[in-house]
Amino acid sequence: MSENHLKALPYTEVGAFINHLKAQEGLGPLALEFTILTVVRTSEALNAQVEEFDLQRGIWTIPPERMKARKEHRVPLSKRAREIANFLIENQTSNYLFPGRKDGQPLSNMAMLATIKRMGRSGDFTVHGFRSTFRDWAAEQTNYPRDVAEAALAHTIPDAVERAYRRGDLFEKRYKLMEEWANYCVTVIKKAEVIPIRQRV
């Protein structure tokens, strides 16, 4: 199934959802919030290793073998994403940022789905769908070039020639984009009040 066909939460509802998510307890909610903020794939978040993080510089480097495109991916960490990573590393019990119940195993990929279910949103959207939510937000609410958003999602450049000439990863621009995304994620958008027109008697 392609990312475009996965159920996604409208970006105007992300702030309210994150606000509700922060009230949840446990590792699953933290993993979900971190995944939403970094817009990585579920497996990339759950298999994150503590040594991959440079919190002083705000960079998480995912090695090629854990990326879909088999290419190293540097993730710029927003202030909130860094807070989550720092909290977990300070209370480290495993090499995994999100340790599972079994020694040497990461958190189950069902943990985030279980969180969504506990919040009463099961079936409304998927974890992976938040990547589409981010992409829609970036396209409709920011002025960043398409390439920057695509790089944030670690999407492969389809054109082979362009891919051959592209040397950088647009990191500095992505850093600003991800901080703006994190700020948007705590902004609750109030729905406009609809006043019904009085019907004629």
| Unique residue bearing structure tokens 């040497």 | 104
Q: What is the pLDDT of residue 169?
A: 74
Active site residue 131: yes
Is 165 tagged catalytic? Answer: yes
User: Catalytic residue at 174?
Assistant: no
pTM listed for this prediction: 0.87
Query: What is the spatial order of strands in the sheet that 73-76 belongs to?
Result: 53-54, 59-62, 73-76
Catalytic residue among 7, 22, 57, 68: 68
- Ordered domains of the chain (ranges, CATH): 12-184 (1.10.443.10)
Interval 81-106: pLDDT, tens: 999 999 999 998 899 999 999 888 99
Question: What local confidence, expressed as pLDDT, does residue 189 receive?
Answer: 79
Give per-residue burial for 58-89: e unless 16+ CB within 10 Å, then b: bbbebeeebbeeeeebbbbbbebbbebbeebe
The per-residue pLDDT for range 97-148, each reduced to its tens digit, is 999 998 889 999 899 999 999 999 988 999 999 999 999 999 999 999 999 9
Res. 3 pLDDT band, cuts 50 70 90: very low
Q: Is 80 considered catalytic here? A: no
Question: Catalytic: which of 73, 80, 82, 131?
Answer: 131
